Amino acid sequence: MTRRVYFDHSATTPVHPEVVEEMYRFLKDNFGNPTSLHYFGQKARKAVEEAREKVAAAIGASPAEIVFTSGGTEADNMAIHGVAYTNRNRGNHIITSAVEHHAVLNTVKALGKQGFTVTILPVDQYGMVSVEDVAAAITDKTILITIMHANNEVGTIMPIAEIGRLAREKGILFHTDAVQSFGKIPVNVDELNVDLLSISGHKIYGPKGIGALYIRKGTRWRQTLFHGGAQERLRRAGTENTPGIIGLGKAAELAMANMEKEAAYLTRLRDRLIREVTEKIDHVRLTGHPTKRLPNHASFCFEFIEGESMLLSLDLQGIAASSGSACTSGSLEPSHVLLAMGIPHEVAHGSIRITLGRDNTEEDIDYFLEVMPPIVERLRAMSPLDQETEFALSDRCNGCRASHSCHV
Ligand code: PLP
């Protein structure tokens, strides 16, 4: 039987058994609509409010500041749209970074077509935004800064507290996408100086299709995406996803209880993986910051190989990882994150992301280190991506326009 190793926890995580249990108990015994006034409704309401308290406690917020959403994407959209339209009379300038998730990047780009001015800040070789660049981009029309807490592709942790301090000094609202950092490193809305913050359930061993947006009390933000009922204090219309909310609450509670121990364990595995991969294999570079990175995150570029062929070969050996380029459609588009970091097209094609989780073991790392070098050797022997043909591939990539990415 093929050994199965799951190394794609930044894409999604298995649901924790205790979360499953809690959700099952709720689904079985509690089908009420939390808006209903009767016994069934009030039982559901109580469970939703308890989950809200758990999520709020996990980020140092108060429960009234938490709005449940359908996930990280909706939370990002709600944060940005809500601030942009509510503050339009004050200005129309939004600042973000070139390495944001598409949930942010495409939202600000869409606003750019509706009369807003968008500054997309560059990053350094590690994928880091500089506080000085943020300061220099601010104008008297700036109403929102949105910069992610930790990058999904390369794991780099941004200087959010410093950017938040700057935003506060200038009276500008500050949102961070904490989808990848929440549950892995401390996320406290006061320490980070944020006004709005997005999280998602399925990245923290909770269910998919549920997330939350933190909106600091007093923030000039009005719901602009949905019209409907008065749920979530008029901030998110639609009957609550009660089982999802209960699952998110439980997952957040478990993440907080285990975070410190788990981060230490995963950092040890991650550091060994990075050390041995870069020692054992030639022409490999670590992508992302060497130390300011998520504890579970290792990402590399293997020169002269396409990421997708590595992924397929790894999958045949039972190892699930992800890459920064998408060629399922037969065209290749390197990751916007790697390109923004100055990694050349042809090198960015050879990207691979290994994101560890609580069930991974030293033996999983041993297995990867055993399987990977021969895969690299074989693919390089077959690869058209030697120095002579590099340019041919860059030409092809410049010409292709795939609209999707493997990275989530
Ligand atoms: N933001 C980041 C940084 C992510 O990694 C993801 C998920 O891949 C999202 C937002 C979107 O979250 P969701 O899948 O809950 O919509």
pLDDT at 323 over 90: no
pLDDT at 328 over 80: no
Q: What is the pLDDT of residue 330?
A: 44
| Three-state DSSP string of the chain | CCCCEECECCCCCCCCHHHHHHHHHHHHHCCCCCCCCCHHHHHHHHHHHHHHHHHHHHHCCCHHHEEEECCHHHHHHHHHHHHHHHCCCCCCEEEEECCCCHHHHHHHHHHHCCCCEEEEECCCCCCCCCHHHHHHHCCCCEEEEECCCECCCCCEECCHHHHHHHHHHHCCEEEEECCCCECCECCCCCCCCCCEEEEEHHHCCCCCCCEEEEECCCCCCCCCCCCCCCHHHHCCCCCCCHHHHHHHHHHHHHHHHHHHHHHHHHHHHHHHHHHHHHHHCCCEEECCCCCCECCCEEEEEECCCCHHHHHHHHHHCCEECECCCECCCCCCECCHHHHHCCCCHHHHCCEEEEECCCCCCHHHHHHHHHHHHHHHHHHHHHCCCCCCCHHHHHHHHHHCCCCCCCCC
Pocket test for ligand 1, best of 8, 10, 68, 73 (most atoms within 8 A of CB): 73
Q: What is the pLDDT of residue 400?
A: 32
- CB atoms near residue 6 (< 10 Å): 19
Angle between helices 362-382 and 307-316 (to 10 degrees): 130
Q: Is 327 one of the annotated active-site residues of the chain?
A: yes
pLDDT tens string 12-52: 999 999 999 999 999 998 999 999 999 999 999 999 999 99
Residue 220 φ/ψ, nearest 5 degrees: -75, 90
Find out whether the beta carbon of 405 lies less than 6 Å from any atom of ligand 1: no
Q: What is the pLDDT of residue 334?
A: 87
Find out whether the beta carbon of 101 lies less than 6 Å from any atom of ligand 1: yes
Catalytic site residue from 301, 327, 397, 406: 327
Percent of the chain having pLDDT more than 70?
Answer: 92
pLDDT tens string 209-253: 999 999 999 999 999 889 999 999 999 999 999 999 999 999 999
Distances 240 to 36, 67, 211 between C-alpha atoms, Å: 12, 10, 12
**Strand 173-177 and strand 297-302: pairing?**
unpaired
Which atom of ligand 1 lies closest to the CA of 201? 15
- How far apart, in whole angstroms, are the C-alpha atoms of residue 277 and residue 182? 27
**Paired tokens of 311:** 């992924």
What's the burial of 304, exposed, middle or buried (CB within 10 Å: 0-12/13-18/19+)?
Answer: buried
Banded pLDDT at 404 (limits 50, 70, 90): very low
Q: What is the pLDDT of residue 385?
A: 60
Residues with Cβ < 8 Å from 91, sequence gap 6 or more? Answer: 139, 140, 141, 142, 143
Angle between helices 39-59 and 242-280 (to 10 degrees): 30
Banded pLDDT at 399 (limits 50, 70, 90): very low
**pTM value?**
0.93
pLDDT tens string 255-307: 999 999 999 999 999 999 999 999 999 999 999 999 999 999 999 999 999 89
Pocket test for ligand 1, best of 106, 151, 157, 180 (most atoms within 8 A of CB): 180
Find out whether the beta carbon of 197 lies less than 6 Å from any atom of ligand 1: no
Ligand 1 centre to CA of 302 (Å) is 25
> In what side-by-side order are the strands of the sheet with 297-302?
284-286, 297-302, 351-355
Residue 80 φ/ψ, nearest 5 degrees: -70, -50
pLDDT tens string 102-161: 999 999 999 999 999 999 999 999 999 999 999 999 999 999 999 999 999 999 999 999
pLDDT at 88 over 60: yes
Least confident of 75-79, 378-382, 396-400: 396-400
Q: What is the pLDDT of residue 386?
A: 57
Find out whether the beta carbon of 87 lies less than 6 Å from any atom of ligand 1: no
Looking at residue 45, its amino acid is R
